Amino acid sequence: MLRDTLKTLLQAYGPTGNEQNVAEAVKVLLASHVDSMQTDAMGNLIVEKYGTDDNAKRIMFAAHMDHIGLVVTSIEDEGYLRVAGLGGISVDRVRARHVIFGNGVQGVVYIEPVEKGTPTLQHAFIDIGAQNKEEAQAMVQLGDVAVYAPDIFNLGKHRVAAPAMDDRCACALLVELLLYAEDQKNTIVGVFTSQEEVGMRGATVAAYHVNPDIGLCLDVTGWGDTPEVKLPAIRLGDGPAIKIMDASMIATPWVRDALFEAAQAAGVQAQREVLLSGGVDGAAMQKTRSGIPTGALSIPCRYLHTACEVIDMRDMEGALKLLLQFVDMV
């Protein structure tokens, strides 16, 4: 079940550069359902399900495993942890948040008062309950990374809120595609990528290695359906969004059009995604070697890079139907 797969992946600790727990969870979910699995030097998990056509195309589907976090930069005499952002994390989103480290140590983020100006992450600290520096050093080390604690809950009938929805929802979608695709014409190369949040580093390496005929990025996109937020023109529950462009890429026109055709054939309502900012793994795929025809399918997501990212499961279900159609159409 898509919802169960999503919950499993949301619970895995996996900040940028430490995605191995997520990869292990994916391996368990896909065991005996795919033809090959390998992990490369960057920590990307590359999974293949072979197509049946003699002239099968290799389609690389990329979904990133990592999510944002706070890396420990120093420990104060009183036992508080000073931190810096790992990925696009901002001070206004971390105040009084429950966080957890990979070893299970938990903490609360707070922001020290500032007399002038606006606080930044330099003013943030994590309270892990240590009474002094020595006690804190026995609990965490410099370079350890805290992430939002995995608080997962339903909003109404169709919506789910959790940290790390960016991009675990797309990882769940890719897992389900690999599970449900049967005797498909083309070869599915599912790449669960690393280090997207710091510059699409995993996808850059993986795309060069895979050298696919077509690239398709699976990620989240912004929202325009809350008070005073009208752009991008994306609404939760109105279907997955097919990317036209963002700040990092312009989708290859024929791949974009094939996604719309697949949506129509599958009876799925799809939205058009036009972003003026942001970047996704698709940009790395598109610029690999001599160029890869690349598109992107996005799940609408509210409150990105917060502890409560929200998606609509109907958009996920529609995306899965679209992708199952797409792998046999191109």
Residues with active-site annotation: 196
What element of type H or E holds 55?
none
Please give the Cα distance from 42 to 165 (Å, whole number). 22
* CA–CA distance, 298 with 319 (Å, rounded to integer): 8
**How far is the C-alpha of 302 from the C-alpha of 149, rounded, in Å?**
18
Unique residue bearing structure tokens 């109404």:
156
Pair 281, 130: CB distance under 8 Å: no
3-state secondary structure of 327: helix
Scanning 191-312, the segments in alpha helix (DSSP H) are 201-210, 253-266, 281-286
Give the long-range contacts of residues 85-88, CB within 8 A, separation 24 or more. 85/121, 86/15, 86/16, 86/17, 86/145, 86/197, 86/198, 87/15, 87/16, 87/197, 87/198, 87/305, 88/197, 88/305
Distance (Å, rounded) from C-alpha 38 to C-alpha 147? Answer: 26
DSSP letters for 177-211: HHHH--S-SSEEEEEEES-GGGTSHHHHHHHHHH-
In whole angstroms, give the CA distance from residue 274 to residue 298.
11
What is the bridge-based pairing of β-strands 294-300 and 214-221? parallel
* Cβ pair 218, 63 in contact under 8 A: yes
Cβ-contact 104, 98 below 8 angstroms: no
